[in-house]
Structures are given as structure tokens and as C-alpha cells.
Amino acid sequence: MSKDRYIAAKQKWAEKQKASGFKPRDHAAPGRLPPGQKLTTGFPVLDLGVQPEVPHTEWSLTLDGLVEKPATLTWAQFNALPQVTDVSDFHCVTTWSKYDCRWSGVAFTTLFELAQPKPEAKFVYFTSYDGYSTNVPLEHCLDDDVLVATQFDGAPVSREHGGPARVIIPKLYAWKGAKFVKTVTFLAGDRLGFWEVRGYHAIGDPWKEERYA
């Protein structure tokens, strides 16, 4: 019941904002803090009300869709891939931002090279162990700060923050970075994810305030 109420509240929020005439900006805003955001030193937890416990022995990441080399990686295989660390800012659509988040894991470009998407692949659709999904244009996933993170500030990503592995896409609102990530599917056409079908923007650029459809 709590999950249903949470989802209903978020959906009503998007509907109210759309009804009020809210429109995204035509151009990105300057500066480090996106418009409409407030800086926090904490790290609030937002999810679907479900935090699945996925043991490393049962975890896997599947790369599929329009790819030449589909793959399903075990935890050991995933962590045997080249590892990167990146420091970036984190922007939640619920108007808070956190600076200088230090994430470590596997760069999305490494997964791209492993799966070898076909030329017609233009979008990425992420699904998660908690039933979550989200869509991202492929071009946004290929930035050098996008990764599937297994560590935050030198420690394993906690379950409440999407561990054992979550997606980080710093240039988009944080809902685009799927927690508890399970599959990465490459598509020719866009497929709306969990919040996108409930009124949220298909891209989600915080500097343009692309919060709602």
C-alpha cells in the first residue's frame, strides 16, 4: 500500500505541475546549481518503496536488444571489467542537489564496447530488480561521466541507494539513473519508463528544467 501511495503522490505532483503551466527552458541555465534546485549535504533516499536485497551470487547484468554481442554478466565478471572513479554532482527532480559525489564502477562506454550496439540503436532502456524502468537517449549515456556504480565514496553502494549496482548519469535528473539495475536494452525507438509514463520528461535535463512531459 505504501508503494501505491508513493507512486500516486508523485504522479499527482507531475500532473499539478503540468496543469500550472510549467514549461522547460529552451536553453540550459548557467552555473553549477540547476534552476529550481537547493543544495543539500545529506543524501535523501527516494525509491518505489521496495529495496530488493540481491546477493552478489544472484546478481547479474544483462546487455541485450539491438546488439551484436548480447551478454549476461555475473558479479565477478562485471567487476573484472576495467574500473573507473568519477566525481560529479547529483540532481534530484524533487529539487535537491548534492555536490561532489564520488562514484566508482564500470563506465557505460565499456559496456557499449562489450555489447557492440547496432547502428540503428538510438535509445537505452534500463530495468531494475525492484520493477523500475527508465529510458535515456543513447547519446546521453556515452558521456565520459556515465557509469554503473558499485561504490560511493569508497564504500559499496548501500541497498537504500540502489546497491549492489546503480546507474549514474550526472547530466540528467537522478531518476534517469536506475537503482538496482538489472538489464540494459538498446532500442531503435524510445520506450517510456516507469516515471515517464506517469508524466515525467522523456529526457530530464536539469539545466533546462525538463521535469515533466
Mean pLDDT, residues 95-112 taken together? 96
d(CA 131, CA 98): 26
Q: Where are the beta strands (DSSP E) in the chain?
A: 38-39, 60-65, 71-74, 84-91, 96-107, 123-128, 133-137, 147-152, 155-156, 166-168, 181-187
Judging by DSSP bridges, how do beta strands 147-152 and 96-107 pair with one another?
Answer: antiparallel
d(CA 4, CA 1): 5
- Reply yes or no on whether the pLDDT at 114 is more than 90: yes
Q: What are the backbone dihedrals phi and psi of residue 139, each rounded to the nearest 5 degrees, phi first?
A: -60, -30
2 pLDDT band, cuts 50/70/90, is low
The per-residue pLDDT for range 164-205, each reduced to its tens digit, is 999 999 999 999 999 999 999 999 999 999 999 999 999 999
pLDDT of residue 51: 87
Mean pLDDT across the chain, nearest whole number? 90
pTM: 0.87
pLDDT of residue 1: 44
Mean pLDDT, residues 141-160 taken together? 96
d(CA 140, CA 171): 8
Q: In the chain, where are the structural domains located? A: 2-41+52-208
d(CA 177, CA 172): 8
CATH number corresponding to 2-41+52-208: 3.90.420.10
Q: What is the share, in percent, of the chain residues with pLDDT greater than 70?
A: 85
Q: Considering only CA atoms, which of 169, 171, 178 is closest in space to residue 196?
A: 178
Mean pLDDT, residues 51-70 taken together? 96
109 vs 41, more confident: 109
42 pLDDT band, cuts 50/70/90, is confident
- Reply yes or no on whether the pLDDT at 6 is more than 60: no
